[in-house]
Amino acid sequence: MSWIDSLFGPAGLMPHGVCFLMRSDLIALHVIADGLIAFAYFSIPVTLLHFARKRKDIPFKHVLALFAAFILLCGMTHIFGIWTIWRPVYYLEGVVKIVTAIVSVVTAIVLIPLVPQALSMRSHSELEAINRKLEAEVQRRADAELQLRRTVNKLTQSNAELERFAYIASHDLQAPLRTIGSFTGLLGKRYSESLDDGGREYLEFIQHGVTDMRTLINDLLELSRVNSAEPKIEAVDTGDVVEHVVEQLHADIESSGATVEFGELPTVDADARSLQQVFLNLIGNGMKFQPEGQAPHVRVRAWRVGDGWQFSVQDNGIGMLPEDRDQIFLVFKRLHTADEYPGTGIGLSLVQKLVQKRGGEIRVDSAPGQGSTFVFDIPDSLPEESTLATPGQASPEAVLV
């Protein structure tokens, strides 16, 4: 007899049914019990397979596979329990049991190092508590974000009202100022001979005050228009803009002996009027803030940086301390008295707002007695968020009647 024959029923051995005296009630009891147990064992791997396919992120899949094989083999031992009632396939049953034993031992060994990891996993109640905390945190942040949006809206509205107020106040101040200037001029023409030296000096003070006030009002008007006026973005030759600024400053250049040096400058997408204001203020300041008796020298350059252009306006003026580099961009912030260097203290604040509105930034490199270099950039792309007046927000000009 071959070994295969011995697996399926060695000679001389009786099936288990003989031990049961082939009693149908006893055989039925064992068959039903082993059949139900085998069915339960076979269903467990199917359930585990379905679970693993649905939850692809589940860890320890190799352990799950070993456990499924162990359960499946346990079910097979019960199938052999039924089979051996009629056939003495004890060798084959033993082989299945050996395989079951090997798989069960391997599964047990693999499980041992996984116990600490399994113990460190969060329980369902802990996960629920963490989830509740996360939900509370999300709600808290949502409430904070809502409050922040409300605050931003209030600040935006407040800034818009302040801009309108500044524009209206500046505009309405023009009329009485023109009246003062006109009558002061008439007084000087008609009655200057009737006034003594003190009277003519006082009249001159008034005329200078009117001029300074007009300059201040015009600067305030320009500052109030930055956020409300709609820019006209187009291709602008910065070389033409600088040439035009030099023409505007021709009288000051002639009187001070200044030189303004610039080479080939790029064409950028910008608002021509805003760009002209930027260069007018920077070049004008470079000429104004000079040691006494020194001829101003201002140099304008541009170079490509990343996705945009960077410009510099360099002068040979008096310079400034490092701690003053940020202060000079504040409205009405002056480092010198009006008697030393005339001005309103608005120009650089206006320049910064115009540059930032186009999506750029401006900085200054300077040291006392070594001049100043203002560097600002104009990116190729326009700002993502429009800085124009929002719908329903009237511009300062629209408020005037």
Matching residue, tokens 């379905």: 50
Q: What is the pLDDT of residue 386?
A: 43
Q: What is the pLDDT of residue 201?
A: 80
Tell me which of 219 and 362 has the higher pLDDT.
362
How many angstroms separate the CA atoms of 197 and 232, rounded? 51
Q: What is the pLDDT of residue 315?
A: 92
**Same domain, residue pair 104 and 188:** no
Q: Examine residue 136 and state whether it is found in any structural domain, yes or no.
A: no
Q: How confident is the model at residue 67 (pLDDT cuts 50, 70, 90)?
A: confident
Tell me which of 198 and 282 has the higher pLDDT.
282
Q: Examine residue 259 and state whether it is found in any structural domain, yes or no.
A: yes
Q: What is the pLDDT of residue 136?
A: 92
CATH number of the domain where residue 219 is located: 1.10.287.130
Look at residues 176, 204, 225 and tell me which one is the last residue of a structural domain. Answer: 225
**Same domain, residue pair 160 and 27:** no
Q: Is the pLDDT of residue 220 over 70?
A: no
> CA geometry: angle at 51 spanning 47 and 53, to 5°?
120
Q: Examine residue 330 and state whether it is found in any structural domain, yes or no.
A: yes
Look at residues 186, 205, 225 and tell me which one is the last residue of a structural domain. Answer: 225
Best CA proximity match to 64, nearest among 47, 50, 48: 48
**Same domain, residue pair 180 and 90:** no
**Same domain, residue pair 190 and 286:** no
Q: How confident is the model at residue 211 (pLDDT cuts 50, 70, 90)?
A: confident
Q: Examine residue 134 and state whether it is found in any structural domain, yes or no.
A: no
**Same domain, residue pair 256 and 387:** yes
Q: What is the pLDDT of residue 393?
A: 41
Q: What mean pLDDT value characterizes the chain?
A: 81
Q: What is the pLDDT of residue 395?
A: 42
Q: Retrieve residue 389's tokens.
A: 């007046």
Q: Is the pLDDT of residue 168 over 80?
A: no
- Expressed in percent and rounded to 5, the helix, strand and coil fractions of the chain are 60, 10, 30
DSSP 8-state code for residue 118 = H
Tell me which of 383 and 225 has the higher pLDDT.
383
**Same domain, residue pair 264 and 338:** yes
Total domains in the fold of the chain: 3
**Same domain, residue pair 43 and 71:** yes
* Secondary structure (3-state) at 104: helix
Q: How confident is the model at residue 398 (pLDDT cuts 50, 70, 90)?
A: very low
Look at residues 197, 225, 253 and tell me which one is the last residue of a structural domain. Answer: 225
**Same domain, residue pair 296 and 392:** yes
**Same domain, residue pair 348 and 251:** yes
Strands 297-304 and 308-315, by their bridges, are antiparallel
Tell me which of 186 and 303 has the higher pLDDT.
303
Write out pLDDT tens, residues 378-396: 998 877 654 443 333 444 4
Q: How confident is the model at residue 169 (pLDDT cuts 50, 70, 90)?
A: low
CATH number of the domain where residue 394 is located: 3.30.565.10
**Same domain, residue pair 198 and 250:** no
What is the percentage of the chain residues whose pLDDT exceeds 70? 83
Q: Examine residue 131 and state whether it is found in any structural domain, yes or no.
A: no
Q: Examine residue 129 and state whether it is found in any structural domain, yes or no.
A: no
Tell me which of 192 and 128 has the higher pLDDT.
128
For 2-11, 27-36, 264-273, which range has the lowest pLDDT when averaged over its residues?
2-11
pLDDT average, residue stretch 63-81: 87
Write out pLDDT tens, residues 347-380: 788 888 889 888 899 999 988 888 999 999 999 8
* Secondary structure (3-state) at 366: strand
Domain span at 202 = 142-225
> CA geometry: angle at 157 spanning 156 and 160, to 5°?
85
**Same domain, residue pair 183 and 39:** no
**Same domain, residue pair 368 and 301:** yes
Best CA proximity match to 354, nearest among 381, 329, 321, 334: 329
Strands 297-304 and 362-366, by their bridges, are unpaired
Contacts (Cβ under 8 Å, ≥6 apart) of 89? 7, 8, 9, 80, 83
Q: Examine residue 126 and state whether it is found in any structural domain, yes or no.
A: no
